[in-house]
Structures are given as C-alpha cells and as structure tokens.
C-alpha cells in the first residue's frame, strides 16, 4: 500500500491531481509543505479532497498547516492532522511516493 | 525500520531540507535507522560547506553537521555537485561525494525510500 | 552464492524536457542504475510524456537533445520497462505515432497496479 505525499500547492501544481489519479484502495494521502493548502475548507479543491475521503484516509502535516496560518478549525473535516512522528509512522505502514 | 532519504530540492528556494531534517529527527526518536541521505538535483546544494546565512536564520550547514554527529551518512551526488560547483573543497565536512550507485544502494538496503 | 531477489525501482518522470534539469538528471540516474542488474522501470506521465515526442531539435537552444538517449536506454542498458501513460498522451493530443521510440503504452489502471509492485519511487 502506498502513501501519496503531496507537497506542492494544488493551485500551482498537478501534484494533488496525480496523487488522486494513482491512489488505490488502502492507500493514504498526506498533504505537506504547500500541499497543505488543499486541506483548507472552502477552497477550490475541497470537493476533490472530500471525494478522496470517501475511500481513503487523508492527512495533513500539522507543522506545515500551522506555519501557513491554517487553523485546525479551517481544515476539511476528516482530514487528520499529523505531527512528524505521525508522518514517520505512516511511512512505516505505507510505501511513500512524493508528488511535487 | 531502515529509511533511505532522497533530497531533490535546494536549501533556499524550497522547504525540502527542512522537511527532511524534521522527518529524520522524528524517525530516529522513534528508534528507526537512517541508512543514508542522498542529495540530488538542486538538493546537492544543501551540502555546500561554505554557506554563511545570517545568524538569526536557520543554518543548514549546522543541521548537516548535527546529522553527521548522529552518525548519518550524507551523500552528495558527484555529477550533480560538479555541475553546480560543489567539489571536495566546497562540500560540507559532514557529507561525502559519491556516485548515483549509492542512491540505488539506498533503494536496495532501506525498507523505505522517501523523497523530499 | 545464493541469488538475491532484484529490487524493483520506478522512475516517475512527470516534467517536460528543457524547462528544468529533471529530465537530464533522471536520464543520468537511469543509465547508472541500468548497470546494477536490478529491476529498473521508467514511467512517463503528465508533462513527462513530452520528453518522448518526435522531432525535438535543440540546436537553437544550445543544449543536448535528450530524446536521442531513450532508444539507447532500451537497447544498451538494462532497463526492464519504459512505460508511457495512455491518458497523459491523449490529454496532450499525442499518440503512439508521435513518440521517438517504441515504448510500452499503459493505461492508468494498469500503471496503478504496477506502482504497487515497486519497492522505491524516484520522482522527477
């Protein structure tokens, strides 16, 4: 099973779209760096994230969201915030592919 | 678990080195082993030994020295480095210069290869 | 000596040529990896498929034409597979006839399965 890491903003990169194209059942997605902007409620990509959430777990790196002023209350429901140790644990469980 | 780390982005235009550093520290705290960090593409610039950032700014050169002290192998790609002016005289004492074969070795020896 | 199982690695090339160095340095890695008798796979998706387009002429640019390398990669280096994603080609108005060399055209669904068999990914 794979961990799809999205680290560029969906507003400037096809990283999120690619991750979505290749995500399979049992795979998970992690939004990091500028990728965390995809986790913001009410943004253009929130519907897409909600679609992914129907079948897969989606995580967002806490440090990157906080740094960018994205508060926990502004993160799309069911997107779980992870600290770096949580990130490591997901990589232990899943094979990572980074979409930049 | 054994992790290999690949860093492909430079130290000032991108966040990759910071993300990788935080990941490595967390992985070690959890008792995992870092088999090595390979620097490729603009990522090789992270291993420059002569960087002098302002004192109140995070210092990649010191971060690398810290990783070296923890016994982590830091490998700058020779071809990517040469192209960008990185040679034995300019590379950080924390890093070694070696070939792309080392990246494949990391793929083979690690349980996971993670790219930043 | 017992024969060790090969490690499956996949290059995922998703950037167009010349605008960045990614294609050039990905090729350098492919050539090197080809020498180690492992299972090396190369996949072109997204803008990466432009790297395989016929008719590239870099003379005016003053750079090497990297598209000439792929046929050699297949013939002279031990790369297991070169895949190009069908959907990425179609989105960009390209078909098999537009490509410089014979590569395996694969649809997204099949590629997803292949990805699941890999041990490590190298994104470019």
Yes or no: domain C8-123 corresponds to CATH 1.10.390.10? no
DSSP string, C29-63: HHHHHHTT-SEEEEEE-GGGGGGGBTT---GGGTS
Counted residue by residue, chain A has a size of 100
C69 vs C92: CA distance, rounded Å: 22
Touching C (3+ Cβ pairs <8 A), the chains are A, B
pLDDT digits (tens, 9 = 90+) for B93-116: 999 999 999 999 999 999 999 999
Nearest chain B CA: its distance from C9 CA (Å): 8
Report, as an integer, the average pLDDT of A3-20.
Answer: 98
B83 alpha-carbon distance from chain centroid: 17
Report, as an integer, the average pLDDT of A50-60.
Answer: 98
Nearest to A85 among B26, B115, B116 (CB): B26
Beta bridge partners of B3: B34, B112
Nearest chain A CA: its distance from C91 CA (Å): 13
Work out how many CB contacts closer than 8 A connect B with C. 44
Above 80 in pLDDT, residue C32? yes
Q: Note whether B21 and B14 are within 8 A (CB).
A: no
Report, as an integer, the average pLDDT of B30-54.
Answer: 98
Nearest to A88 among B16, B32, B116 (CB): B32
Average pLDDT of chain C to the nearest whole number: 94
Q: Which of B13, B104, B86, B80 is nearest to B47 (CA)?
A: B86
* Residue B12: predicted pLDDT: 95
User: Which helix H or strand E contains A7, and what residues bound it?
Assistant: none
Residue of B nearest to A95 (CA): B112
Q: Which two tokens stand for residue A91?
A: 């990589």
DSSP string, A9-68: -TTT-SHHHHHHHH--TT-EEEE-GGGGGGGBTTSTTHHHHHHHHHHSEEEEEHHHHHHT
Residue of B nearest to C9 (CA): B107
* Residue C3: predicted pLDDT: 61
Using alpha carbons, list the distances in angstroms from residue B1 to A20, B21, B87: 27, 17, 33
**Binary contact (B26, A87; C-beta < 8 A):** yes
**Binary contact (B100, C33; C-beta < 8 A):** yes
A62 vs A87: CA distance, rounded Å: 10
Nearest chain C CA: its distance from A22 CA (Å): 6
Q: Residue B90: which pLDDT band, with cuts at 50, 70 and 90?
A: very high
**Binary contact (C115, A97; C-beta < 8 A):** yes
Chain A interface mutation, best of B5, B23, B31, highest count of A Cβ atoms under 10 Å: B23
A43 vs C40: CA distance, rounded Å: 39
Q: Residue A34: which pLDDT band, with cuts at 50, 70 and 90?
A: very high
**Binary contact (C108, A22; C-beta < 8 A):** yes
Strand ranges of the sheet holding A2-6, from the earlier edge strand across to the other edge: A80-82, A57-61, A28-31, A2-6, A95-99
* Residue A56: predicted pLDDT: 98
Percent of chain C with pLDDT over 70: 98
Q: Residue C68: which pLDDT band, with cuts at 50, 70 and 90?
A: very high
* Residue C102: predicted pLDDT: 84
Nearest to B26 among A34, A84, A98 (CB): A84
* Residue C2: predicted pLDDT: 53
**Binary contact (A22, C123; C-beta < 8 A):** no
pTM over the 0.90 mark:
yes
Q: Does A85 touch chain B (CB under 8 A)?
A: yes
Nearest to B114 among A63, A84, A96 (CB): A96
Helix, strand, or coil here: B4?
strand
**Binary contact (C9, B107; C-beta < 8 A):** yes
Nearest chain B CA: its distance from C96 CA (Å): 30
Extents of the domains making up chain A: 2-99
Q: Residue C73: which pLDDT band, with cuts at 50, 70 and 90?
A: confident
C51 vs C22: CA distance, rounded Å: 11
Report, as an integer, the average pLDDT of B81-91.
Answer: 96
Percent of chain B with pLDDT over 90: 100
**Binary contact (B100, C32; C-beta < 8 A):** yes
* Residue C101: predicted pLDDT: 84
Q: Residue C12: which pLDDT band, with cuts at 50, 70 and 90?
A: very high
Q: Which of A69, A15, A14, A11 is nearest to A45 (CA)?
A: A11
pLDDT digits (tens, 9 = 90+) for C92-122: 999 999 999 889 999 999 999 999 999 999 9
Above 90 in pLDDT, residue C8? yes
User: Which helix H or strand E contains B98, and what residues bound it?
Assistant: strand B96-98
C120 vs B61: CA distance, rounded Å: 28
* Residue B111: predicted pLDDT: 98
Report, as an integer, the average pLDDT of A61-77.
Answer: 98
C7 vs B35: CA distance, rounded Å: 16
C48 vs C84: CA distance, rounded Å: 9
- CB count in 10 Å sphere of residue A84: 20
Q: Note whether C6 and C38 are within 8 A (CB).
A: yes
Percent of chain A with pLDDT over 90: 100
Report, as an integer, the average pLDDT of B42-65.
Answer: 97
The CATH class given to the A2-99 domain equals alpha beta
> E strands along chain C, which residues?
8-13, 39-44, 81-85, 104-106, 120-123
C38 alpha-carbon distance from chain centroid: 16
Q: Note whether A36 and A65 are within 8 A (CB).
A: yes
Average pLDDT of chain A to the nearest whole number: 98
């Amino acid at each position: 099973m794979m961990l799809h890491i999205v680290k560029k903003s969906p507003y400037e990169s096809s990283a999120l779209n690619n991750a979505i194209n290749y995500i399979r059942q049992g795979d998970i997605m992690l939004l990091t760096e500028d990728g965390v902007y995809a986790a913001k409620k009410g943004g253009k990509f929130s519907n897409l994230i909600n679609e992914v959430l129907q079948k897969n777990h989606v995580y967002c790196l806490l440090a990157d969201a906080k740094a960018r002023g994205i508060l926990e209350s502004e993160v799309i429901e069911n997107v779980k915030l992870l600290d770096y140790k949580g990130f490591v644990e997901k990589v232990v469980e899943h094979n990572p592919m980074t979409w930049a | 678990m054994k992790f290999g780390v690949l860093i492909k982005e430079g130290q000032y235009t991108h966040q990759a080195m910071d993300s990788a550093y935080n990941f490595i520290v967390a992985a070690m705290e959890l008792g995992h082993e870092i088999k090595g960090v390979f620097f490729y593409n603009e990522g090789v610039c992270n291993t420059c030994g002569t960087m002098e950032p302002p004192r109140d700014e995070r210092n990649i050169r010191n971060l690398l020295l810290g990783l070296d002290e923890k016994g982590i192998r830091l490998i700058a790609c020779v071809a990517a480095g040469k192209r960008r002016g990185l040679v034995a005289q300019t590379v950080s004492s924390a890093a070694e210069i070696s070939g792309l074969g080392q990246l494949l070795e990391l793929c083979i020896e690690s349980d996971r290869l993670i790219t930043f | 000596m017992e024969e060790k199982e090969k490690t499956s690695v996949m290059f995922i090339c998703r950037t167009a040529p010349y605008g960045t160095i990614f294609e050039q340095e990905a090729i350098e890695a492919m050539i090197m990896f080809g020498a180690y008798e492992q299972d090396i796979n190369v996949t072109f998706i997204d803008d990466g498929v432009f790297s395989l387009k016929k008719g590239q002429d870099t003379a005016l640019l003053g750079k090497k034409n990297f598209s000439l390398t792929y046929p050699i990669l297949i013939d002279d280096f031990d790369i297991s597979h070169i895949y190009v994603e069908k959907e990425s080609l179609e989105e960009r108005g390209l078909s098999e006839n537009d490509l410089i060399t014979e590569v395996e055209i694969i649809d997204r669904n099949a590629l997803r399965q292949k990805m699941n068999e890999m041990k490590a990914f190298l994104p470019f």
